Amino acid sequence: MMVVMEKRGSNGKVPFFHRWRRTRLRLRRLPILGIGLLMPIIVCGIFGPAFYPHEPTQMNLAKSLHPPALLPRGEWSYFLGTDQLGRDLLSRLIEGARVSLIVSIFGVALAGLMGVSLGMIAGYFGGGLDHIIMRIVDMMMSIPPILMAILLAASLGSGMMTIILSIMVIFWTGYARVIRGETLSVKQRDFVTLAMVTGCGRVRILMKHIFPNLVNTALVLATLQLGRAIIIEASITFLGLGLQPPASAWGLIISEGRMYLSTAWWIPTFSGLAIMMTVLGSNITGDWLRNALDPKLRRI
């Protein structure tokens, strides 16, 4: 085995130039664009109230439909302009980031918990249980996601919990299908066979030997589905079946602003850009994470 030794100075420490070169190489491997697109959304979602220029629900009809600050008649106190009720658009976008972050994280997490559990059970036990679970998955995946979300929202009523449940019902099938295939592969390996020979129970084999080998796959799926979850949330809210006024959500801002598209284009435009940034950043980060966690792709 070849051991690579770092050049050290007379004091036994690695010179600053070599440390900086090594740090720069590590940073180049990170998805800078994906992180840069997601970081404002995450920061606003966590520390939103600290960045409010105005209260998101504060109305001022005298400032109705004010343009952004860089346009004529714009004011710096309303940097992205105002909506039809004089509410600050930047504050509403920040509040919408909090809503999207909460809904997408909880919805994808619940979908992952359900899908991973059922996928492991189907792949490990097989037989009739596998057929039942997979037929349910096929049936659910045959329904368009947006139609399923509309049906659930219309039957359960509007609200944040309804959107989270809709995302869970839509996305758990993707986890179940992929995790089942991974489980079928992992359970054929020697360490699982040795665990069976030593008398380990099925639950212990699933949790101690199979599940740790599925974490990377589940994590990549979750990252890729965050963007789709935000699109589902915005679509439901845009159709009037999600969050209701006076809540601030990106889909709701677009729905209200479409009536003023010809005179106040900034209302739906900035909300659409926020959704685009979040989905694009999520997809880029998910692709990088898939390559980073896959040993074959990492060697390439």
* pLDDT surpassing 90 at residue 56: no
Mean pLDDT across 14-25? 54
What confidence tier does 295 reach under pLDDT thresholds 50, 70, 90? low
**pLDDT at residue number 28:** 57
Q: Residue 105: which H helix or E strand, with range?
A: helix 89-125
pLDDT, tens digit, 9 for 90 and up, residues 95-120 = 989 888 889 899 999 999 999 999 99
CATH for 85-295 is 1.10.3720.10
Residue type, 108: V
Instruction: Give the tens place of pLDDT for each residue, 69-78.
Output: 888 888 888 8
Distance separating alpha carbons of residues 253 and 266, to the nearest angstrom: 11
Task: Quote the mean pLDDT of the chain.
Answer: 84
Q: Is the pLDDT of residue 1 over 50?
A: no
Q: How far apart are CA 35 and CA 43, in angstroms?
A: 12
Q: Which percentage of the chain shows pLDDT scores above 70? A: 88
Q: Long-range CB contacts (< 8 A, 24+ apart) of 58-65? A: 58/87, 58/88, 58/91, 59/85, 59/86, 59/87, 60/86, 60/87, 61/85, 61/86, 62/86, 65/260, 65/263, 65/264
Where do the domains of the chain lie? Answer: 85-295
Encode pLDDT of 169-180 as tens digits: 999 999 999 999
Per-residue pLDDT for 300 more than 70?
Answer: no
Residue bearing the bigger pLDDT, 273 or 291: 273
- Residue 297's pLDDT band, with cuts at 50, 70 and 90, is low
Question: What is the number of alpha carbons within 13 Å of residue 66 lying toward its C-beta?
Answer: 25
- Identify the pLDDT of residue 299: 55
Q: Is the separation of the CB atoms in 252 and 163 below 8 Å? A: no
Q: What distance in Å separates the CA atoms of residue 122 and residue 175, rounded to the nearest whole number?
A: 12
User: What are φ and ψ of residue 165, in 5° steps?
Assistant: -65, -35
300 or 282: which leads in pLDDT: 282
pLDDT single digits (tens) 231-279: 988 888 888 888 888 888 898 999 888 888 888 899 999 999 999 999 9
In the predicted model, what is the mean pLDDT of residues 187-200?
Answer: 84
Q: Which tops the pLDDT comparison, 207 or 1?
A: 207
pLDDT number for residue 5: 45
Model pLDDT, residue 139:
92
Q: Which residue has the higher pLDDT, 228 or 18?
A: 228
**Poorest-confidence range of 94-98, 181-185, 199-203?**
199-203
pTM of the model: 0.82
Six-digit token string for 167:
């995302």
Query: Can you give the pLDDT at residue 294?
Result: 67
**What pLDDT is attached to residue 240?**
83
Quote the pLDDT of residue 17. Answer: 52
Least confident of 127-131, 140-144, 224-228, 295-299: 295-299
| pLDDT (mean) for 125-154 | 88
